[in-house]
A and B are shown apart, each in its own frame.
Chain A
Amino acid sequence: ETGVTQSPTHLIKTRGQQVTLRCSSQSGHNTVSWYQQALGQGPQFIFQYYREEENGRGNFPPRFSGLQFPNYSSELNVNALELDDSALYLCASSPDTGRYGYTFGSGTRLTVV
């Protein structure tokens, strides 16, 4: 069974640009969550998708948006990038919306300059 894979691993963007981060869920997992981890902090919940529908959102502005595809892969899109968006973005998949079995990817390190 494959784990959760994220791409790219590192990315540098300019303030005001848009970025798309990608996540391939673990086989058999139909739920994906995205987290932002700023330096020296714990991961913060951005949103979750279950069967292609948003199923909960954290305290992030609308310029953070997502998609989940029929194969359960997922994208995180961030528009109008700000310097404070610089962080590690983690994707986690699970076999259901339940609390068990969250598997995290290694993350995408986004730097906004």
Chain B
Amino acid sequence: DQQVKQNSPSLSVQEGRISILNCDYTNSMFDYFLWYKKYPAEGPTFLISISSIKDKNEDGRFTVFLNKSAKHLSLHIVPSQPGDSAVYFCAATQGASGSRLTFGEGTQLTVNP
């Protein structure tokens, strides 16, 4: 039962263009969503998050959009840079404690110079 899904295993974009990574979830109890970035041989690094009471959160080049009715969120990176090339994981959690994160399968983003 995959409660968080990232349907695109890979995405390739040109430097300077927009990267859009998508994530869908099935559990309506999820109320907090996070994006992590992972380079090879490193642990996931927190990127940006959004609470279910919002539909958008922005941090520099990164913006996360949440569509609760569609149970869909997306991460926009503008402009994309070669250093953004990594695996991006969407994660979700529920409740005040947030003791567990449920991750998607990840999307490998490659930004070409």
Contacts and interface: CB of A to CB of B under 8 A. Distances in A.
Given A43-B44, A43-B89, A99 B105 contact: no
Given A42-B89, A106-B43, A58 B101 contact: no
B42 interface: yes
A99 B93 contact: yes
B4 interface: yes
Contacts, number: 62
A98 interface: yes
A104 B104 contact: no
Interface residues of B, number: 26
A107 B43 contact: yes
Interface string A52-67: 0001101000000000
Interface residues of A, number: 26
B98 A42 contact: no
Interface of B: 4, 6, 9, 32, 34, 36, 41-46, 89, 91, 93, 96-106
